[in-house]
Structure 1
Amino acid sequence: MISQEEKVKFLKELVEIYSPTGREEEAAKFIKERLEEYGVQAYIDKVGNVIGRKEGEGPLILLAGHVDTVPGYIPVRIEGDFLWGRGSVDAKGPLSAMLFAMLESDANVIFAGLVDEEGFSKGAKELEIPRPSYIIVGEPSGVDGVTIGYKGSLTARFVERIEKVHGSLGIGAAEKLIQTWLQISRNFGEGFNELSGRIVRFVAYEREFDFYGEMIINLRTPPGYTPPSEWDIIDFVPAYEVDRRSPLVRAFVRSIREAGFRPRLKKKMGTADMNILGPRFGVDAVAYGPGDSRLDHTPRERISISEYLKSIEILKRVLTKLGNLD
């Protein structure tokens, strides 16, 4: 068994490696080296993902988290029960919890630390491994929660070029783009089954003979959403939701309950690599991990150390239950 002190030390050292999207190499190398020290075969693939393979009993289970973080350095420190630092919650805490659960179980596991999750999920899209039977994605759900659904994410570009006229005779490119946004957003809602979104970039100016405007938007899309064919789509990841009756979900519910918590099934308004990996391999996927997702991307990002350690024990229970399904 690995000591609790060593588990906390690993997480702290990983968080101390600043790894915003596009700069994951040092963190991936750190994880690879530590996996090898623990006796796990590991390598870094062509896109920068760090992969570990631990053969064991039962069906093959993919444990996949992401190595990258959003930008913004937060001084790494431990204050009481909390470890502060960029990525402590999203998602190096969940990634570390999965790593130690794998090490302390007899399950048949592939561990994947993926790159570019905060970008366009190149790591998940390019992951080349044998088809697993189940997928667990490392994202903060809280120690007592398991995420069974994520909205989709659509990024689109709109451009307007209008021949210049006198300001009193017509509208310009900026106004046309605003009209487009108002049309798109008029039916926005806050629920999992409703469309929502925001403007990511907006520029508009006059050129010599025309008005020019460009708008990039990101929409969070509900299950079943299809974007208009005439849009200039930059990236689209559809929504994903697993059946709550899945053996994977049931394994989490039982394990969380056995650990003394009341299980919570969550559907999130964001998007994660779960949206890509579940459909890509055609198997059930959920997301689980310690941490309060409301702290994601904020200057207050910190994780409860006790929750991190408890989540490892829950993941070990889950792996054992899944291993007995074969």
Structure 2
Amino acid sequence: VFGWPTRPSWLFRLNQGLHVGLGLVLIPVVLAKLWSVAPKLFAWPPARSVAEILERLSLALLVGGILFEIVTGVLNIQYDYIFGFSFYTAHYYGAWVFLAGFAVHVAIKLPTLVRALRSRSLREELRTPLSRTEPEPPDPDGLVSVAPAPPTLSRRGLLGVVGGGSLLLGTLAVGQTVDTLRPLAVLAPRGRFYGDGPNEFQVNRTAESAGIESAGTGPGWRLALTGGSAPRELTRADLLALPQHTAVLPIACVEGWSTTQTWTGVRLRDLARMAGAAAPGSAFVQSLEEGGAFNHATLARNQVLDPDSLLALRVNDADLSLDHGFPARVIVPALPGVHNTKWVRSIEFRSA
């Protein structure tokens, strides 16, 4: 169990918002870089020495890794799972492949990098207009054409195009993380406004898609509390009769969207105490959903005992809707959205 900290409550919102936002911002940068070194990528023969073989291998990891991360990341944001593998696992290991390639490439190219940066002034390059822009002289790496055409774009113009593209994508992405900028997120599936009702906010997995039916969440529903010295079952009426706590907490998902709502329910630590497990080491939460990778979650000790960690029964002064987890769902500060289990069936409090 990874004890992801619960404070500040917006930590995962910030983490994932930056992760997705920066990933989108870097797309124009990566494309511009690949365009600038395209001749080198397709050079033949690809290598003439052991050092060049290592360089080519690092390039394969670097270019392949970053393109894989961008493509799978964008598809995940758009909920287009056209690949036949787990996004989470593949994206994680793809990042390590990219980092390995990046580290080797920087180590090999560091002298060239330092020499190039020292050879000219960035300020002077940014001041040079198109009329005074001259083609690069032929270089030993073969990146410059032996007969270049007249320049059609200055270096500062290229930086402006790339920077403008990054700024545009960043602006369109930030709206799905910052509530007040929601109208800007025109390309994000979960970026739009859903209405003014208490339950009209983003839903990643609906009750229908999870196979949840009203019959299973009606008066016959029971919450099972196990793992302690006093296991018991509670109805929703029993839970509503317990001391209620209200917390304003964000919920954030790996696709980058997040939203802040006002949640009301029973503290998880109070339920643990009621079940005879006043100091649990963790809690295993099971959903009514049958099957699926996220029909359960394990909460670490700090997540169970946080004063704002709730088994939520209401949101924004209204009962949870079925799509938002009725009759009860978990909401924990700074916890990834997929682990805030909906349609809770049971909670098993486990010892350390």
TM class by shorter chain equals under 0.3
Give the TM-score normalised by the residue count of structure 2: 0.18
Larger Rg: 2
More strand by share: 1
Give the TM-score normalised by the residue count of structure 1: 0.19
